Amino acid sequence: MNARRRAIIVGVAVGLLSSSSAVALQEATPEASPVGPPPLPEGCSVIASELVNPRFVAVGDDGTIYVSEAGVGGDEVLEPPADPVATPESPGTPAPVEEGGPPSGPATRGTTGQVTMISPDGEQSVLAGELPSYAMGIETAGPAGITVADGEILLAVGGAGPGTAMVDALPNENSVVSIDPESGEATLLADIGAYERSDNHDPFNIDSNLYGIDVADDGTIYVNDAGGNTTYRVPAEGGDPEVLAVHPGIPLPEGMEGPPGGNPFRDGAMELDPVPTGILTVEGGVLVGYLSGGPFPPGAAVIVEVAEDGAISDVATGLTMVVDLAAGPDDQLYASQISTNFLGEMPEPGNVVRILEDGSQEVVVDGLMLPNGIAFDENGDLLVVVNSVSLGEPNGQLLRCEGVAEAADAPANEVTIALDEMTYTPRDVTIKAGTDVTLHLVNEGIATHNLTIDAPGVRGEMLAAGEEMELTVNLPEGDYSIGCDVPGHRISGMTGVIHAVP
Ligand SMILES: [Cu+2]
How many Å lie between the centroid of ligand 1 and the Cα of residue 484? 5
Give me the pLDDT at residue 35, please: 52
How far away, in angstroms, is 413 Cα from ligand 1 center?
A: 24
- The model's confidence at residue 6, banded by pLDDT at 50, 70 and 90, is very low
> Is residue 185 pLDDT above 90, yes or no?
yes
Distance 420 CA to ligand 1 centre (A): 7
* Span from the CA of 472 to the centroid of ligand 1 (angstroms): 20
The yes-or-no verdict on residue 10 having pLDDT over 50 is no
Element (H, E) at 86: none
CATH of domain 3-401: 2.120.10.30
Q: Are 336 and 322 in contact (CB under 8 A)?
A: yes
Q: How far is the CA of 481 from the centre of ligand 1 (A)?
A: 15
What is the Å distance from ligand 1's center to 332 Cα? 40
Nearest of 22, 275, 264 to residue 136 by alpha carbon: 22
Ligand 1 centre to CA of 148 (Å) is 46
Q: How far is the CA of 430 from the centre of ligand 1 (A)?
A: 21
Burial of 35 (0-12, 13-18, 19+ CB in 10 A): exposed
The closest alpha carbon to 290, from 328, 346, 340, 337, belongs to: 337
Say how many Å lie between the CA of residue 410 and the centre of ligand 1. Answer: 28
Average pLDDT, the chain: 86
Ligand 1 geometric centre to CA of 473 (Å)? 20
- Taking only the tens place, the pLDDT of each residue in 140-166 is 999 999 999 988 999 999 999 988 988
CA 479 / ligand 1 centre spacing (Å):
21
CA of 450 to the centre of ligand 1 (A): 6
* Separation of CA 307 and ligand 1 centre (Å): 51
CA nearest to 118, candidates 74, 58, 164 = 58
The Å distance, Cα 453 to ligand 1 centre, comes to 13
* Residue 95 clears pLDDT 60, i.e. is over it: no
How far is residue 103's CA from residue 66's CA, in Å, rounded to a whole number? 29
Q: In angstroms, what is the span from residue 437 Cα to ligand 1's centroid?
A: 22
Q: Is 194 left (phi over 0), alpha (psi -120 to 50) or beta?
A: alpha
Tell me how far the alpha carbon of residue 411 lies from the centroid of ligand 1, in angstroms. Answer: 26
How far is the centre of ligand 1, averaged over its atoms, from the C-alpha of 498 (Å)? 17
Q: How far is the CA of 432 from the centre of ligand 1 (A)?
A: 25
**Cα separation, 57 vs 226, whole angstroms:** 18
- Tally of CB atoms within 10 A around 141: 35
328 pLDDT band, cuts 50/70/90, is very high
Residue 121 burial (C-beta neighbours within 10 Å; 0-12, 13-18, 19+): exposed
**Residue 125 reports pLDDT greater than 50:** yes
Instruction: Give the model's pLDDT for residue 105.
Output: 65
Span from the CA of 336 to the centroid of ligand 1 (angstroms): 52
pLDDT average, residue stretch 221-246: 96
Distance 419 CA to ligand 1 centre (A): 7
Report the distance separating Cα 139 and Cα 355, nearest Å: 29
Annotated domain spans of the chain: 3-401, 414-501
How many angstroms does the Cα of residue 436 sit away from the middle of ligand 1? Answer: 25
Q: How far is the CA of 482 from the centre of ligand 1 (A)?
A: 11
What is the distance in A from the centroid of ligand 1 to the CA of 490?
A: 7
Q: How far is the CA of 485 from the centre of ligand 1 (A)?
A: 7
Ligand 1 centroid from CA 460, angstroms:
11
- Dist CA 314 CA 275 (whole Å): 15
Q: How far is the CA of 220 from the centre of ligand 1 (A)?
A: 49
Around ion ligand 1, residues with a beta carbon closer than 5 Å are 449, 484, 486, 489, 494
Measured in Å, residue 37 CA sits from the centre of ligand 1 at: 64
Q: How far is the CA of 403 from the centre of ligand 1 (A)?
A: 40
Which residue did the predictor score with more confidence, 174 or 378?
174
CA dihedral sign, ordered 151, 352, 90, 312:
positive
474 pLDDT band, cuts 50/70/90, is very high
pLDDT the model gives residue 88 = 37
Q: Residue 87's pLDDT is what? A: 38
Measured in angstroms, how far is the CA atom of residue 457 from the centroid of ligand 1? 17
* C-alpha 470 – ligand 1 centre gap (Å): 17
pLDDT digits (tens, 9 = 90+) for 39-93: 899 999 999 999 999 999 999 988 999 999 999 999 999 875 444 333 333 333 3
Mean pLDDT across 397-417: 86
CA angle, 185 as apex, 179 and 231 as ends, to 5°?
35
For residue 495, how far is its CA from the centre of ligand 1 (angstroms)? 9
State yes or no: pLDDT of 119 exceeds 60.
yes
Q: How confident is the model at residue 286 (pLDDT cuts 50, 70, 90)?
A: very high
Q: How far is the CA of 444 from the centre of ligand 1 (A)?
A: 11
What distance in angstroms lies between residue 445's CA and the mean position of ligand 1's atoms? 9
CA of 492 to the centre of ligand 1 (A): 9
Higher pLDDT, 188 or 90: 188
What spacing in Å lies between the alpha carbon of 449 and ligand 1's midpoint? 4
Q: What's the rounded Cα separation, in Å, for the pair 144 and 394?
A: 16
Name the CATH superfamily for 414-501. Answer: Cupredoxins -  blue copper proteins (2.60.40.420)
10 Å Cβ neighbour count for 448?
16
pLDDT at site 80: 56
- Give the angle 337-252-86 at the CA atoms, nearest 5°: 90
